[in-house]
Structure 1
Amino acid sequence: MTAVLTKKEKTWMEKVIKEDEVTKYMDGGKDFINDEEIWEKLIDNSNPEPARIREIIQKSLSIQTLEPDETAALLNVKDPELWQEIFDAAGKVKKKVYDNRIVTFAPLYCGNLCVNNCLYCGFRRDNHVIKRRVLTLDEVRREAEVLAGEIGHKRLIVVYGEHPLTGPQYIRDTIETIYSVRVKTRNGYGQIRRVNVNAAPMSIDDLKMLKEVGIGTYQVFQETYHHETYEKLHPKGTIKAHYQWRLYCHHRALEAGVDDVALGVLFGLYDWRFEVMGLLYHARDLEKQFGIGPHTISFPRLEPAANTPFVQETRYRVSDEDFKKLIAVIRLSVPYTGMILTAREPAHIRREIIASGMITQTDASTRIGIGAYSDRYNEQELERQQFELGDTRSLDEVIRELAEMGMITSFCTAGYRCGRTGERIMTLLRTGKEAVFCKLNAVLTFREWLDDFASPETKAAGEKVIQKELEELRERVPEKVYNKLLEYYRRIQNGERDLYF
């Protein structure tokens, strides 16, 4: 069944893409993804010598972005023992840049209307089995109240389809609504302090508007960097069919003054090695043109979706073994970036990868239907969501598991309000200095969460982590800073909230 676009939708679509906001970033009319060059590098760097791989690892450990030939060499490693060295190095890089912190968040889907027709997506325009809905601002507020007041999240990634009813003005209104929520909790209050946005590519003017209202990280996935595959999966006559409009949306965001941008690929659409190379090229072009790279990179795998046969037909499904490899190579290739492992993955896979020490962010208590947090429906009702989730555990359960691994869950958003964003955060990340700021704030925000939301079992596990972190900080920071930390810590125990360095 084909969905017919309305006149209003067609008129709106004609005005979205601004070609001059694409070509201005291109080099001689060409974008920075050269498919032939990527495959040449993968072929030319086959069978790399172990000594060369170890040199590349050492470069990553100094927090330098890799060259394409270096990443291609890593992707061609065959020796299991050498792969173990890569995994170990990836964990060391994450530890150096981000320490033992894990940031948690939740996705909030505000609407599933979409003018696009992507073959792999449950929300595609022609999928008649999906129950369509756009949240009102009152419904957005109720969702945020559950997330901030019952579950305990401090940051969200808010998700929108590409449609006139969920355009930039609606996104602005929802961000303002979410930031306005303040809910009484067990000992303090809950609020969302960071609203990141996963939305369609926008113009510079629209992104400037969202910057004014306090957009966090602007996240757009290219889905696949392979031009031919992209064209096949995104039918002509849709906005998303324009490869370069999407490719350069992060460039426009940085020009508009948005502090942080986030890249991603949907693994399973094309060869995973090519896609890793594409992510590296993307990061390097942002560095070249703006001096900063992606704040985060995501790497979700293709999952089943209602009435979406393409998922079963793909030839490029990524195995668990290759999934772990691609994460490690991304970590070494773009060593400063945050890396997001989502609840698309089953709990046992998330547990293994988080334990390896390569990940910086993950979601929990995840519900991806429209209005799912306040409606309380069965989360695996596929006709209400974009794809099938692999891990539906609660935030409390996930935090307890992290604590038992010796990791501290950080709800810190201080850096964004203190100006540690953009180029400044990149410098701090590359030198390892940001880890100290974040360690201090992780302790304070974890104290908040344990007192306001934790179950007795999770609180007991968390207390052990906090004591260990306090002992470590006593040795790592000046006495004056440590005393200030203890002062803030006691004030939080007495009910104050949102104290930070």
Structure 2
Amino acid sequence: MSFSEVFEKYNWEDIKGKIYAKTSLDVERALSKSQRNLEDFMALISPAATPYLEQMAQLSHRLTQKRFGKTIQMYIPMYLSNECQNICAYCGFSLDNKIPRRTLTEEEILSEIAHIKAMGYDHILLVTGEANKTVGTEYFKKALKLIQPSFSHISLEVQPLDQHEYEELIPLGLNTVLVYQETYHENDYKKHHPKGKKSNFNYRLETPDRLGSAGVHKIGLGVLFGLEDWRADSFFTALHLQYLERKYWKTKYSISFPRLRPHAGGLTPKVEMTDRELVQLICAYRILNEEVELSLSTRESNKFRDNVIKLGITSMSAGSKTNPGGYANAPESLEQFEIDDQRSPAQIAEMLTRQGYEPVWKDWDRAYSS
């Protein structure tokens, strides 16, 4: 059974109604347990949990330190291309945005690598728009061959691929794939993705199944907060996570928390997610699942990132550029979205050290899976 078959058994409005109907008693029951289920998660992300935020934060802190200690994994995105054949209402790379398009050459990739390595990174996230003919599997193969010698951990955030394509990339150094559903609200998903391969809701929904079957070491999930009700979307992300953990139990998982940021095209968020609500969600995920990695990018502000370090986050980016060639080749080119925290990796590392945490630049080696 694939996740799309599981997903069909649930109704968005029913789930949303159940979340908003949760009471303080449901929240207290969830917090008192040693193990929680999805019903408990609904209580922890409900409006009824708002008065319990301090209690949730303390519990999330304890659970995170028990499993991960006082460490934060450092990573950086490297954008290879802004070519895209999709129309997405929220993205600066959308096909209908009249922007200069750029795909890095082999020489440009090498110069970006040199710049990133000078910052101390050993974990890199490769990102492109979704343009299969320009930046498809063959391009990824060439890029990975160039990048693999310099990094022990390579993640990919590109268009969904078929299972055999992931299988071809794993021997070249691919460790992790991030694939965000954007929203699990099927009708609104279609409104935000009217053209291109990404408009196929089910193909994207089943991508983590293909990743699990291919044997990718780690799968990253998430939605884009601002497109739909964040509570309902987060329930379906948690449902997806639990399904994957049971079926592909050898695989590791991570959750990211992107909130809609300014970009070319200027979509106004349908639903605003406050800082307190994002803190509530981070804590709820940790209380539900002690093993999942929780990642926070430079989309968020300096102050917010500094304050949530101790509440469940296990990985962060720093010094990020969201445009192809942004580190060494084309710092002036159009970004996918605006970042907020613009501090350097050294400044973030200093902040973490002040808080008693260790910034980890390398915690994985390909030899571990040999």
**Range into which the TM-score falls when normalised by the shorter chain:** over 0.9
Question: Could you report, residue by residue, the CA deviation over 1:158-177 in whole angstroms, capped at 9, with x for unpaired residues?
Answer: 00111111011111211110
**Shift in alpha-carbon separation, 1:28–1:275, aligned structure 2, 3 A:** closer
- The amino acid across from 2:141 in the alignment is R
Q: Which residue of 2 aligns with 1:344?
A: 299
1:276 offset after TM fit, Å? Answer: 1.3
1:199 offset after TM fit, Å? Answer: 1.1
Q: Structure 2 CA distance, aligned partners of 1:345 and 1:300? A: 8
Q: 1:324 aligns with which of 269, 279, 304?
A: 279
Q: Which residue of 2 aligns with 1:284?
A: 242
1:290 offset after TM fit, Å? Answer: 2.1
Query: Are residue 153 (structure 1) and residue 108 (structure 2) matched?
Result: no
1:52 offset after TM fit, Å? Answer: 0.6
2:130 counterpart SS class: coil
Q: Structure 1 CA distance, aligned partners of 2:8 and 2:169? A: 26
Correspondence list, 1:317-466, <5 A: 317-354=272-309, 356-375=310-329, 377=331, 384-414=334-364, 416-419=366-369
Larger relative contact order (Cα-Cα within 8 Å, sequence gap ≥ 6) = 2
**Shift in alpha-carbon separation, 1:53–1:407, aligned structure 2, 3 A:** same
Question: Could you report, residue by residue, the CA deviation over 1:189-223 in whole angstroms, capped at 9, with x for unpaired residues?
Answer: xx321111111111011011011212011111111
What is the TM-score of this pair, normalised by structure 1? 0.70
**Shift in alpha-carbon separation, 1:116–1:405, aligned structure 2, 3 A:** same
**Shift in alpha-carbon separation, 1:162–1:37, aligned structure 2, 3 A:** same
Q: Structure 2 CA distance, aligned partners of 1:411 and 1:314? A: 34
- The amino acid across from 1:309 in the alignment is G
Number of equivalences: 369
**Shift in alpha-carbon separation, 1:125–1:365, aligned structure 2, 3 A:** same
Q: Structure 1 CA distance, aligned partners of 2:9 and 2:161? A: 20
Query: Are residue 302 (structure 1) and residue 271 (structure 2) matched?
Result: no
- The amino acid across from 2:82 in the alignment is N
Assess if the C-alpha contact under 8 Å between 1:101 and 1:410 holds in 2.
Answer: yes
What is the TM-score of this pair, normalised by structure 2? 0.94
Query: Are residue 96 (structure 1) and residue 66 (structure 2) matched?
Result: yes
Uncovered stretches (5+) of structure 1, i.e. residues with no partner: 1-23, 60-65, 181-190, 421-501
- The amino acid across from 1:403 in the alignment is T
Query: Are residue 220 (structure 1) and residue 190 (structure 2) matched?
Result: no
Higher strand share: 2
Q: Which residue of 2 aligns with 1:169?
A: 138
1:292 offset after TM fit, Å? Answer: 5.0
Identical residues among aligned pairs (%): 27
1:156 offset after TM fit, Å? Answer: 0.4
Question: Could you report, residue by residue, the CA deviation over 1:53-107 in whole angstroms, capped at 9, with x for unpaired residues?
Answer: 3224x32xxxxxx422111111225465522111111111111111000010110
Bigger Rg, structure 1 or 2: 1
2:174 counterpart SS class: coil
Query: Are residue 53 (structure 1) and residue 53 (structure 2) matched?
Result: no
Q: Structure 1 CA distance, aligned partners of 2:10 and 2:199? A: 16
Assess if the C-alpha contact under 8 Å between 2:224 and 2:258 holds in 1.
Answer: yes
Q: Which residue of 2 aligns with 1:261?
A: 219
Assess if the C-alpha contact under 8 Å between 1:41 and 1:69 holds in 2.
Answer: no
Question: Could you report, residue by residue, the CA deviation over 1:11-48 in whole angstroms, capped at 9, with x for unpaired residues?
Answer: xxxxxxxxxxxxx6257696465424422431443443
- The amino acid across from 2:31 in the alignment is R
Q: Structure 2 CA distance, aligned partners of 1:399 and 1:317? A: 30
Assess if the C-alpha contact under 8 Å between 1:33 and 1:281 holds in 2.
Answer: no
